Amino acid sequence: MSTDDAQNEQPTWDLDPKFDFIDAHRLPFLDDKVSLKKIDTECSGPFEGKAHGKAFTQAANDEIRDLQYRMFTEGKQSLLVVLQAPDAAGKDGLIRKVLGQMNPQGCRTYPFKVPSSEERSHDFLWRIHKAAPAAGKVSVFNRSHYEDVLVVRVEDLVPKSVWKERYQIINDFEKLLAHRGTRILKFYLHISPHEQLERFKKRLDDPTKHWKLNAGDYAARDKWDAYREAYEDAMEKCHSKIAPWHVIPADKKWYRDASVAAIVRETLRDMDPQLPPLDADLDEIRGLYERELSEMNE
Ligand code: ADP
C-alpha cells in the first residue's frame, strides 16, 4: 500500500460501542453523599479519540432525530432535558451540537435567566411549568428550577427557610411531570476550574466571543466551593429513578457531546415511541389515488 493510500483510508470505528454511558455517568441510587471532587472532569469512554467521538455523536444524533420524530407522531410521551453547569462548561455548545439537532417542530429550548418582576411575583415553578413538554414534545432547559436552590442559595437571594423547602417541592413537581408521561434527564456538565479559566482566556482572545465576557463569571469562581456544595446538595436531595442526575465529564467538549447524545439516544430507545396505527381504509385511499392518477393521464 502506498503512503497516499494509507492516508486516504477511512477508519472503521465502532459507532455503537458496547459501553454503558448511563451506568458510567448517572449518580448511583444510594444514600451516599455526592462528592463532585471524586468525579473526573475528563474522560474518553470507549472512544479512540476526538474524531471517533465526533463520528459517534453524528450517528447518535441521526437516530435521536428518528426516535424524536416517532415520539412526535405518537403524541403520547414527552422528554425533558435539564442542563445545569458552571459558566463556560458548554451548555450552549451541547445544545448546538446535539440537542438542537432535533426537529424544531417537536423540540424547544428554554433559557432561564434572572427572573423578571412578573416571574418573581409568582411561585418559583410558575415559569418552569409553562415550559414543560406537551405530549409528543421535547423541552430542553438551559438552566432550570434548580437555579432556585443554587444561585439563590449561594447568593443569599431568599432566606434559607425558603430555599430549603424547595427540594421537596421540586421532587413533587418532577413526579407530577413523570406521572403525565414525561421522561426527565438531568445533566450537570462537570468542568474543572482550570479548564474553565482556559475557556475564559479563549473568550478574551477571540473578538467573536467577546459578547460572552462577563465580570460576574469571575465572581462566581470565587464561590466555586459554595456552588459545588449547593450542586451536591441538589443532586443528593433531588435524584430519583424518575428524574435522575448525570454528571458529565465536560473538560473535553467532544466527550461531553458524545456522552449526552448516547444517554438521550438510549432513553429514547427505551421509551420506544411508535408511529401511530393507520386510521383510514388503506384500500379506499389507494383507490382514490389510482382514480386521480388515471384522470391525470387521460
Ligand atoms: P447563561 O450563563 O446560562 O448562558 P446568562 O449569562 O444570561 O446565561 O446567565 C443567566 C443568569 O441567570 C445566571 O447567572 C443564572 O444564575 C441566573 N438565574 C437563572 N435563574 C435564576 C433564578 N431563579 N434566580 C436568580 N438568578 C437566576
Claim: this prediction has a pTM higher than 0.85 = yes
| CATH, range 18-297 | 3.40.50.300
Q: Please give all residues whose beta carbon lies within 6 A of any atom in ligand 1, as ranges.
A: 87, 112-115, 142-143, 147-148, 151-152, 157
* Residue pointed to by grid coordinates 451540537: 97
For the beta carbon of residue 185, count every other beta carbon within 10 angstroms.
Answer: 21
Task: State pLDDT tens for residues 85-99.
Answer: 999 999 999 999 999
Counting atoms of ligand 1 from 1, which one is nearest the CA of 151? 16
Do 92 and 109 meet the contact criterion of CB atoms below 8 Å apart?
no
- The domains of the chain are located at 18-297
DSSP 31-76: SSPP-GGGS-S---TT-SSHHHHHHHHHHHHHHHHHHHHHHHHH-S
Distance 284 CA to ligand 1 centre (A): 56
User: For helices 193-205 and 215-222, what crossing angle results, to 10°?
Assistant: 170
Distance 45 CA to ligand 1 centre (A): 31
Pick the residue whose CA is nearest to atom 27 on ligand 1: 114
Which segments of the chain have a pLDDT < 70?
1-8
Q: What pLDDT, on a 0 to 100 scale, did the predictor assign at position 267? A: 98
Distance 114 CA to ligand 1 centre (A): 5
Task: State pLDDT tens for residues 106-165.
Answer: 999 999 999 999 999 999 999 999 999 999 999 999 999 999 999 999 999 999 999 999
Q: What pLDDT, on a 0 to 100 scale, did the predictor assign at position 7? A: 59
Sheet holding 138-142: strands in order across?
Answer: 107-111, 138-142, 78-84, 182-190, 245-249
